[in-house]
């Protein structure tokens, strides 16, 4: 659904647009000259945020939304089957399912269904837009949510099986009184790669805390307690906890899981949400720099040339060691995580460990 294109070169001095109408016309012209260009790439080419670009259609094919986003998410269930899309700069995660068991209390929350499985950081969600693209049989309707810098966080797509009446009623309930296409966009946060790590007794205490973990979720607390960056924690960890592997390990894991039928968990997130697939992966297809999962209910698009490092990470729990593959960009951002399918109280499957054991070490 979402374009896989990325890493487009932007002119040093992008044009400025006096009005949203001028921006909309520039986008229309770009679409006439570059077939299939999507909003994220178009925004980069035009030197604006994706939220500004999409909002330029307000009054035409876009409606600005307002309200409490946690309540809106909880009201998606009656619409039925939907497609949830979450991405970061280098990976797109698309999952079909229902928004059930929504619990968002304060800045954080969850959506817990077998198919739509989300960890939501609602404090980052600022703008919401209801969008109609295409016409007739090619029409696509979506809800699109952005942070204050105009970066897309999460998108929800109406499906043929969805309740169109429930969708329209939700959009009507959350339609903003002010339909101005001008958005107040904040400067995007600069990404600073800080690979400093604790030393001496502090580092030893960090590793001791790591080995004493009873739950994988304790790892984030340890990072905060000792003031260590996630990637630097891996780089400074001993071999019993971490192993750096080849950068093509994500492709190897997906192909091995497909060949063996091993169910896995795939985590992709950004500053506003983490989206999780749990289950098998079947059709693995390479397209240019992208490795893709193209299954009926789950799609993944990972840009392989953006992978700067990949790591096997072991975390002790009360159910035994849980092993993951973590993948990072050159700027130290976590792109995607892979786990074997598991639930609390059930030890990790040996089939998953066997797949990771076959990964070659980093060269």
In tens, the pLDDT along 80-105 reads 999 999 999 999 999 999 999 999 98
What CATH number is attached to the domain comprising 157?
A: 3.40.1570.10
Residues 205 and 182 in one domain: no
DSSP for 237-262 reads S-TTTEEEE-TTHHHHHHHHHHHHT-
- Residue 23 CA to residue 182 CA, distance in Å, equals 11
Asked if residue 118 belongs to a domain, the reply is no
Query: Does one domain contain both 170 and 243?
Result: no
**Same domain as 83, residue 178:** yes
* Over residues 132-155, mean pLDDT: 95
- The single residue listed with the structure tokens 């001993």 is 238
Average pLDDT over residues 198-214: 91
Q: Are residues 29 and 169 in the same domain?
A: yes
Residue 134 scores a pLDDT above 60: yes
pLDDT digits (tens, 9 = 90+) for 236-271: 999 999 999 999 999 999 999 999 999 999 999 999
57 and 158 share one domain:
yes
The parent domain of residue 288 ranges over: 200-357
One domain for residues 292 and 149? no
pLDDT tens column, 13-27: 456 788 999 999 999
* Total count of domains within the chain: 2
**Quick one: 145 and 248 in the same domain?**
no
Residue 362 within a domain: no
Same domain, 209 and 325: yes
**Residue where a domain terminates, one of 150, 166, 189:** 189
pLDDT band at 66 (very low <50, low <70, confident <90, very high): very high
Instruction: Using alpha carbons, list the distances in angstroms from residue 359 to 265, 280, 284, 362.
Output: 18, 19, 18, 9
Are 9 and 138 found together in one domain?
A: yes
Q: Tell me: do 267 and 335 sit in the same domain.
A: yes
- pLDDT value at residue 8: 40
pLDDT greater than 70 at residue 309: yes
Query: Do 66 and 174 share a domain, yes or no?
Result: yes
Cα 76 from Cα 154, distance rounded (Å): 14
pTM: 0.93
């Amino acid at each position: 659904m979402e374009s896989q294109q990325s890493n487009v070169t932007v002119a040093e001095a992008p044009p400025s647009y006096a009005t949203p109408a001028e921006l909309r016309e520039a986008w229309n012209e770009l679409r006439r000259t570059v077939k299939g260009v999507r909003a994220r790439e178009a925004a980069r080419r035009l030197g604006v945020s994706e939220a500004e670009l999409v909002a330029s259609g307000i009054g035409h094919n876009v409606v600005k939304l307002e309200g409490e986003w946690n309540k809106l998410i909880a009201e998606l269930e009656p619409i039925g089957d939907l497609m949830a899309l979450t991405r970061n700069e280098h990976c797109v995660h698309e999952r079909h399912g229902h928004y059930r068991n929504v619990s968002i209390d304060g800045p954080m929350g969850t959506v817990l269904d077998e198919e739509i499985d989300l960890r939501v950081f609602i404090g980052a969600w600022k703008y919401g837009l209801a969008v109609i693209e295409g016409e007739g049989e090619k029409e696509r309707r979506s809800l699109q949510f952005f942070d204050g810098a105009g970066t897309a966080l999460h998108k929800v797509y109406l499906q043929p099986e969805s309740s169109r009446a429930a969708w329209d009623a939700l959009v009507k309930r959350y339609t903003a009184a002010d339909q101005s296409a001008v958005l107040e966009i904040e400067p995007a946060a600069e990404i600073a790669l800080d690979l400093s790590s604790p030393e001496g007794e502090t580092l030893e205490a960090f590793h001791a805390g790591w080995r004493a973990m009873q739950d994988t979720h304790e790892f984030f607390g340890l990072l905060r307690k000792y003031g260590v960056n996630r990637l630097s924690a891996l780089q400074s960890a001993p071999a019993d906890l971490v192993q750096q592997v080849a950068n093509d390990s994500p492709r190897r894991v997906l192909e091995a899981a497909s060949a063996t039928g091993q169910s896995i968990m795939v985590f992709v997130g950004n500053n506003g949400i983490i989206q999780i697939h749990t289950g098998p992966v079947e059709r693995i297809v390479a397209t240019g720099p992208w490795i893709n999962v193209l299954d009926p209910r789950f799609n993944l698009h990972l840009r392989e040339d953006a992978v700067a490092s990949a790591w096997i990470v072991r975390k002790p729990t009360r159910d035994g060691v849980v092993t993951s593959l973590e993948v990072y960009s050159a700027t130290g951002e976590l792109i995607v995580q892979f786990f074997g399918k598991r639930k609390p109280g059930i030890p990790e499957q040996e089939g998953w460990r066997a797949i990771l054991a076959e990964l070659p070490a980093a060269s």
